Structure 1
Amino acid sequence: MCRICAAKSSPWMARRAFLLAAGTTVAGGALAQVNVGPPSTVRSLVPANELEVAAQQQYGELMQQARAKGALAPENHPQLRRLRSISSRLIADAPRWNERARQWRWEVNLIGSKSINAFCMPGGKIAVFTGLLDRLELSDDETAMVVGHEMAHALREHARERIAKSQGTGALLSLGAQLFGLGQLGDVAANIGTQLLTLKFSRDDETEADLVGLEMGARAGFDPRASVTLWEKMGRESGGNANAAFLSTHPTGPDRMRRLQENIPRVEGLYRQAVARR
């Protein structure tokens, strides 16, 4: 049996049946307050360092393209400064979920586009589109929930896992120019770096990212109730909006809201403690 097939039939799939009870041990021996289980073991089939190098290269190319289009926010842009301030508070808690995050060279950039989109690539490469902030009129708390969700995908290495599984079929995806809503940026060669921006995570990955992002936000002093208002806004915006690329890979719905609401009481104490310290 090939390594991929063996991995698919191994006990890691038990995690996918659903998430473990609260109090799960995560990186560094810390305890998670939300219902998450251990990371998948199938990700070990893709070397972490190679994936992070590919992500850094791809991210750099994308930022160059955005800069050439005049779409990359300058350092003194108020929205970028706000975004980096929010992100820095979340990044401080990142090693709780992945020890390697201590060595990541985090980057946070803002791209001017009507597209409702955001991502965090392996190695801590974050980009948010102005359409997400402006069209949804996100508060700082809601913005933190988006960024925390995307960071959670990177910290829990969902892309590494999905690529490991897709290698079994040789699936290599290409980047569409519509990702940015910036017009034709040119085709990017189909490679692992490109996959990082086109992967659709599983429903369980999305749930896990929601809950990890929820706890990260609470620990950083952001109101966890904003997770629900965020996805309510996402749901309203999803109807027929051609610029809502984010929503095509981050489905909204009652189940998502219910899981968030169920877990908000678990992190409210963390939120109150964080607010008291500030």
Structure 2
Amino acid sequence: MQGLHLSKLNIKLYLVLIVATLLSACANTTRPGAVGVNRSQFMMVSSADVERSSAASYNDQNQKAKEKNALITSGPTYDRLKVIANRLIPQTQEFRDDTKQWDWRLTLIDAPILNATCAPGGKITFYTGIIEQLNLNDDEIAAIMGHEIAHALREHGRERVSQAMAQNLAVNVAMAVAGGYGSAVSAANQVAHYVFVLPNSRENESEADAIGLELAARAGYNPNGAITVWQKMIKATKEKSSPEFLSTHPSGETRIEQLSALIPAVEPLYKAAPKPPSTKKL
């Protein structure tokens, strides 16, 4: 009985330590903006550590593309992206002040991939595939780029790393306390993956959609581009309906619905913004 009592005390102590760690790591990386993104985030790792490792991956990506003669550094498509990026980047200061000091970069890779990214610290990557296969106009490119920049603003990569660290911490503590009950701990870990990690990932995508919509509108790009780009994406990928609770992203239809609801909030910003002369109207 005494051993059981000590075990319960140990469990309580470990739980208190975990809770204290979780509470001390809460922060909000951005101001709400017109779209009202104001969720407190869990951050256990530093921005500097995440940016260092992300910069190394970004540089490696570019080196490999260069070796394959796939790295595009000039020409009409690159220049088009550069104009859009130069209009979007100043708008990031509406959400946080330190982006003035970010080392913003732009990479264009010639590959048939429907993707674009923005690594922590402002490292933007586009693939020719997403521009060419979806026949994107400037408003749609701005919507995609704004979405990816929003991930960097909200430091979603850092948040995901922190979540993984916290999950591992909790599992390690549980295993130490449970002793021979490793299978039960493993099962609990699997449950945590679906209950804790996946919903946050969908939430992160929705936040990036919202902030990206505002960035594009403030830069003078038609916010309806965010709607048409998802219509094109659904058509191009022949997306099939699947249960959202087992998905890391909202469905295309859900994103369109959420974005449509936010357009009235950013429409005045778009109307007031100077328009880029090269924008192809929807």
Partner SS, residue 126 of structure 2: strand
Deviation at 1:2, TM superposition (A): 6.6
Which structure has the bigger radius of gyration? 2
Q: What is the match of residue 258 of structure 2?
A: 259
Residues 219, 271 of structure 1: 8 Å contact kept: yes
In the aligned structure 2, how far is the partner of 1:144 from the partner of 1:96?
A: 17
Give me the whole-angstrom Cα distance separating, in 2, the residues matched to 1:215 and 1:65: 34
Tell me how far apart the structure 2 counterparts of residues 125 and 49 of structure 1 sit (CA, whole Å): 14
**TM-score, normalization by structure 2:** 0.73
Map of 2:194 onto structure 1: none
Looking at structure 1, the residues matched to 86 and 265 of structure 2 have their Cα atoms a distance apart, in angstroms, of: 23
More helix by share: 2
- Identity in percent: 37
- In the aligned structure 2, how far is the partner of 1:56 from the partner of 1:106? 11
Q: Match of 2:193?
A: none
Pairing 1:1-278 to 2, within 5 Å after superposition: 1=14, 5-6=18-19, 10=23, 26-27=30-31, 32-40=33-41, 42-43=42-43, 45-74=44-73, 76-169=74-167, 202-239=201-238, 250-275=249-274
Q: Does the aligned pair in 1 maintain the 2:72–2:107 contact within 8 Å?
A: yes
- In the alignment, the residues of structure 2 paired with residue 7 and residue 224 of structure 1 have an alpha-carbon distance, to the nearest angstrom, of 41
Task: Pick closer, same or farther for the CA change 1:163–1:124 going to 2, 3 Å.
Answer: same
In structure 2, distance between residues paired with 1:99 and 1:239:
40
Q: How many residues align?
A: 229
Note closer, same or farther for the CA distance 1:262–1:73 as it changes in structure 2 (3 Å cut).
same
* Greater displacement, 255-264 / 134-143: 255-264
Alpha-carbon offset, residue 100 of structure 1:
2.3
Three-state SS of the structure 1 residue aligned to 2:107 is strand
Q: Distance in 2 between matches of 1:274 and 1:224?
A: 12
Q: 1:146 to 1:276 in 2, by over 3 A?
A: closer
Amino acid corresponding to residue 145 of structure 1 in structure 2? A
RMSD: 3.0
Q: Distance in 2 between matches of 1:7 and 1:238?
A: 44
User: Aligned to 1:142, what secondary structure does the other structure show?
Assistant: helix
Shift of the 146–277 alpha-carbon distance from structure 1 to 2, 3 Å rule, reads closer
In the TM superposition, structure 1's runs of 4+ consecutive aligned residues that sit over 3 Å from their partners are: 1-5, 7-13, 168-171, 248-252, 275-278
- The answer as to whether partners of 1:231 and 1:252 remain within 8 angstroms in 2 is no
Question: What residue is the counterpart of 2:178 in the other structure?
Answer: none
Distance in 2 (alpha carbons) for counterparts of 1:7 and 1:203: 26
Residues 214-265 of structure 1: CA deviation (Å, up to 9, x unaligned):
0000000000011100111111112279xxxxxx965533221111111101
What CA distance in whole angstroms lies between the structure 1 residues aligned with 2:261 and 2:120? 29
Unaligned stretches of 5+ residues in structure 2: 1-13, 170-196, 241-246, 278-282
Residues of 1 paired with 2:20 and 2:138: CA distance?
40
Q: 1:3 to 1:219 in 2, by over 3 A?
A: farther
One-letter identity of the residue aligned with 2:67:
A
> Unaligned 5+ residue runs, structure 1?
16-24, 172-198, 242-247
Q: Distance in 2 between matches of 1:4 and 1:255?
A: 38
Partner of 1:20: none
